[in-house]
Structure 1
């Protein structure tokens, strides 16, 4: 990543380093598209970031005792802080965008990530107490898990993707589409995105189910696929929005009508 020589795509590597550094200083500068887009990518790395502590703890205590580093250990707050970091960054970005634009939609978007932080807090508290328990922390975890999944799915469909529009050629999509040769994939994305948003239910069974770390792997892998397909429709929607506002365009309309009968070349004027 920090190789100074102009090999292995130096410009791309340094762009990534610069973008990550901007995330860590969110709130101090104007939030551009690349900033909140990168922040969204980091929200899909919650599993990876939370496991950084597990990775370091495993080396510290030895591989034979690695299970004592899980979220049932007394040090679960470290895993929670790492897991909630991407959501905290997006909350700060949303507040900054609201301050700059005064648009309430940014506060609504920030509320989604705040709900995600509370969800993970309830999850880690429940895991620390023992995942076989069905107590108050379990109830709050399920409550905020449902709220966050519905909240995030609705935002995906209506805001990030601009789908579920009435009176369009393809039901539940939008008037303008770029991937017109793959219409069924839009419907697949809608269904799969909503289902994977609720992947947290895989952690509920306490017996006759795969090991919890296998479930971590399955959930993380599906989240990676969800974000992968999310990117295609999100960027499509951003591009169409830029065209509507003439930030990008293939053809600039003339500010007047051109009538061949009224505009002609006078060959004798010379």
Structure 2
């Protein structure tokens, strides 16, 4: 990532490093599209980020004792901090956008990420207590359902602008770019909801795959969901830019304009 030589796509690597740095300084500057778009990508990498601690801890205690570093150990707060970091960044970005624009939609969006932080807090507390059917389990299920419904609704109505009435294709929108792949939209709607509720895979306690295998399956499916989400999200952003006349292309003029030679008495014909 930090290789200074102009090989292995140096400009792309440095672009990524620069934008990750901007994420870590969210709230100190104006939030642009790249900032919150990258933040959304990292929200789908919770499995990867939370396991960075597990990976480092396994080196410390030895890989034969890596289970000591799991969420049931006393070290779970470190994994939780890494897991909720993308949500915290997006929450700060939403608050900053509200301060700059005074649009309450940004606060509503921020509420989604705050709900996600509470969801992961309840999850790690539940796992730390041995995955018992107790109060922490009830709160985890409650906030899991709330966050999944919240996020799915925001995906459809705001990020994708779907579920519009009186359109050519039911539950879609008036303008579409991928007109040759209409079934894709319906597949995206259904699969997006299913993966948003993938946390239910953790509930079974008997006759179920190992919890770490279930974590991997959930993380992998969330990665695919975000990959799919990006196509419709960028399509919606492009259409919104067109509607608000933000898509422009500067055409170079065949001459230069010099203010010093433009006199007040010059006419339009001149």
Residue number in structure 1 paired with 2:200: 201
**Residue number in structure 2 paired with 1:210:** 209
Q: Specify the alignment match of 1:6 in structure 2.
A: 6
Structure 1 unpaired stretches of 5+: 251-270
Deviations 1:41-93 (A, max 9, x none): 00001000100110011111111111111000011000000000000000000
Q: State the partner residue of 2:52.
A: 52
Counterpart residue number, 2:172: 173
| Deviations 1:149-205, CA, capped at 9 Å, x for gaps | 000000000000000000000000000000000000000000000000000000001
Counterpart residue number, 1:160: 159
Q: Higher mean Cα deviation, 58-67 or 117-126?
A: 58-67
Verify: 1:137 aligned to 2:129, yes or no. no
Instruction: State the number of aligned residues.
Output: 249
Which structure 2 residues correspond to residues 69-218 of structure 1 after superposition, within 5 A? 69-131=69-131, 133-218=132-217
TM-score norm. by structure 2 comes to 0.91
1:162 aligns to what SS in structure 2? Answer: coil
Query: Distance in 1 between the 2:246 and 2:18 partners?
Result: 24
Determine the C-alpha separation between the residues in 2 that align with 1:204 and 1:160. 29
**Pairing 1:68–2:64 present:** no
Partner SS, residue 120 of structure 2: helix
Instruction: State the alpha-carbon separation in 1 of the partners of residues 248 and 93 from structure 2.
Output: 28
Report the Cα distance in structure 2 between the residues aligned to 1:76 and 1:4, rounded to whole angstroms.
36
Summarize deviations over 1:26-47 as a string: whole Å, max 9, x none.
Answer: 0000000000000000000100
Unaligned runs of 5+ in 2: 250-270
| CA RMSD, Structure 1 to Structure 2 (Å) | 0.8
* Cα shift at 1:207: 1.1
Distance 1:242 1:70 in 2: 45
Structure 1 residue 4, shift from structure 2 partner: 1.1
Cα deviation, residue 249, structure 1: 5.4
Distance in 2 separating the partners of 1:82 and 1:210: 25
Which consecutive aligned stretches of 4+ in structure 1 deviate over 6 angstroms post-superposition?
none
Match of 1:226 in 2: 225
Partners of 1:4 and 1:140 in 2: how far apart? 48
Task: Quote the Cα distance in structure 2 between the aligned partners of 1:78 and 1:225.
Answer: 26
Normalising by structure 1, we get a TM-score of 0.91
Matched residues in 2 for 1:45 and 1:224: separation? 7
Task: Supply the distance in 2 between the matched residues of 1:28 and 1:248 (Cα, whole angstroms).
Answer: 27
Q: CA deviation at 1:210?
A: 0.2
